[in-house]
Amino acid sequence: MSKGVAITGMGIISAIGNNVAENYQSLIEGKKGISRISKIDTIHKDDIMVGEIAFTNDALEKKLGLSADNNYSRTALLGVLAAKEAVENAGISDISAYKTGVISATSVGGMDMTERYYYDYLTDPETQKYIEGHHAGDSTQKIAEQLGINESLVTTISTACSSAANAIMLGARLIKSGQLDRVIVGGTDCLSKFTINGFKTLMILSDTYNTPFDENRKGLNLGEASAFLVLESDAVVKAENKTVLAYVKGYGNANDAFHQTASSDHGDGATLAMEQALKVADLKPEAIDYINAHGTATGNNDLSEGRAILRVFGDNHVPDFSSTKAYTGHTLAAAGAIEAVFSILALQNDVIYPNLNFKTQMKEFHITPQLTLKKKPLQIILSNSLGFGGNCSTVIFSKEQ
């Protein structure tokens, strides 16, 4: 049984950087990764803005040294790249030295390849391998294979936008219960016509830069990204004399079962998730120094999350908060892991990121996100990931165990 859950490595690729260092530099410089669509041939390419990663699939394949006949989806390519950076960052030379698992989150899976080869599937045998990579678990299997994890727990979580936060949560619980010594946790999602069309039908995509918690917010920018963390037990940290980046202090998951795609107007699910995370961490609300908000810039989410924050922290005790989705776009299943990396970087550097693009206070409540880069001693950060179907998750990160 492990008392603490240490984070010893992390890796990331997003629209604002190809690794952890580049992402942090963009965060502190206020550099947005939002642009018009350039890599997907969609009828909506002039209607919306997204967070695209600069690398083409060919470039990613070359970086990973894959053969030309591989059947990696873009989701898998991004996932492998970020997971490998996390393992390298953790200084792991022998992945099988301890009981090690992989928990990866995705929503779109191999849809990008399915879209490309769907109509050739029955007539061209060569294309069938791409359709075989459609299912959500395929990218997880490829990540595990690339890391050399073949005889341990390898599983996939797909709970919409809370997926990667739930992967972190499950990994932490497996370490605390002694079932695993080390878990690589995170999420990966690429842009696809499927997600663009789906969100377009919901009428929640913005044709300009997204503006979290702004009265005049128009909707979200979809993004693609991948991020992974290495979680390790006390025993591994001690035996290997590991440098600890941060700790997973608490976590909570709740479902308000309010609507298929909308959150409760009063933030019931988010409230329950935050309260449960605080309970697991054995913390009072006043211990939180910064909230990394889900903040999608949709009318429903920002109102719901804002009300939940007020319910948990009280009208006059809300800590500094901001959303980083104006930087990267909403990266769906990867969002919880992306923002976990951002939260850990905030802890390490005692900095709160600005809530970009904000202009007008929401009329429903008086709380305002942090609007400029702020230096402040940080010990504990709470990060929200609120998903479709009311699936809401909160993870708390701390400097100390």
Residues tagged active-site = 161, 294, 330
342-372 exposure pattern, b = at least 16 Cβ within 10 A, e = fewer: bbbbbbeeebbbbbbbbeeebeeeebebbee
Element at 271 (helix H, strand E) = helix 268-281
Q: Helix (H, G, I), strand (E, B), or coil: what is residue 129?
A: helix
Please say whether the beta carbons of 310 and 270 come within 8 A: no
- DSSP class per residue in 309-351: HHHHH-TT-PPEEE--HHHH-B-GGGHHHHHHHHHHHHHHHTE
Q: Which of 18, 2, 26, 28 is nearest to 247 (CA)?
A: 2
CA distance 378 to 363: 30
**What DSSP state is assigned to residue 216?**
T
Enter the tokens of residue 309: 């924050």
Enter the tokens of residue 279: 């309970």
Helix axes of 136-147 and 74-89: crossing angle, nearest 10 degrees: 40
